[in-house]
Structure formats: C-alpha cells, structure tokens
Amino acid sequence: MKIIIGDACTGFGVCEGIRPDVFEVNDEGFAEATDEGLTDADREDIEYAASQCPTQAIRIEN
C-alpha cells in the first residue's frame, strides 16, 4: 500500500488524529505518511482517513 499526500493538504491533521502512527503533520504544516509495513489490515483505517480529509488530499495506491 502506498499513501500519497497531494498538494491540497492544509495540515489540519484529521488524518493524524485517526492514525498517528501513519500520518504526521510536519513543521511546514504538511502531512507526511509512513506507509512502510502497512498491511491489508490497516487499509480500512487509511481509507477512512482519506475519506475524512477535508481537502481530499490523501490517495491510496495498491
């Protein structure tokens, strides 16, 4: 699973609130995702985070 954060991210941190082990808003106010080691068991949470992102900035590949 690959998580891509698009330029639309405004850094509000909804994604981080859902999965702080995966998403982190950096000092520039932009979310970064650590997708290493994620399995299909994590997919539901990540899809939920993507659906809750106010700017639809999170894209999931594979």
| CA distances to 16, 19, 35 from 32, in Å | 9, 12, 10
Among 2, 4, 5, 21, contact with ligand SF4 (rule: CB under 6 A): 5
Q: Report d(CA 59, CA 49) in Å as an integer.
A: 10
* Residues in a beta bridge with 33: 23
Among 22, 31, 38, 46, contact with ligand SF4 (rule: CB under 6 A): 31
Among 41, 43, 57, 60, contact with ligand SF4 (rule: CB under 6 A): 57
Residue 15 in the binding site for ligand SF4 (CB under 6 A):
yes
DSSP 29: S
Provide the binding-site residues for ligand SF4, judged by CB under 6 A.
5, 9-15, 23, 25, 31, 53-55, 57-58
